[in-house]
Amino acid sequence: MNQRIQELEQQCVYWVAYEETYEFHREKFAELIVKKCAGIIESQDVDPAFKLRMSWAVKEHFGVKE
């Protein structure tokens, strides 16, 4: 698996003390991936209005808020 994906995955694992186990939050993982994708679009050297529209479209499609 790509190192970047593994880093995002690690941000979504939480310790659940009362169960003494770790829990993986899929929704948080998906949200982080969408935000990273939108960030890649925003960092491109293209028309600023275009990249903002494209970034917004990706987040809107997946229901991710800022």
pLDDT in tens, 1-54: 688 889 999 999 998 888 889 999 999 999 999 999 999 999 999 999 999 999
Q: Would you say residue 14 lies in a domain?
A: no
Q: Quickly count: other Cβ atoms within 10 Å of residue 46's Cβ.
A: 9
pLDDT at 17: 87
Q: Is the pTM of this model over 0.75?
A: yes
Angle in degrees, CA 50, 62, 65, rounded to 5 = 75
Q: How far is CA 43 from the centre of its chain?
A: 15
pLDDT at 32: 94
pLDDT at 1: 60
Q: Would you say residue 56 lies in a domain?
A: yes
Structural tokens at position 18: 């009362």
Q: Backbone phi, then psi, for 23, in 5-degree steps? A: -130, 135
Number of domains in the chain: 1
Q: Would you say residue 16 lies in a domain?
A: no
Domain that holds residue 35: 25-66
pLDDT score of 65 more than 90: no
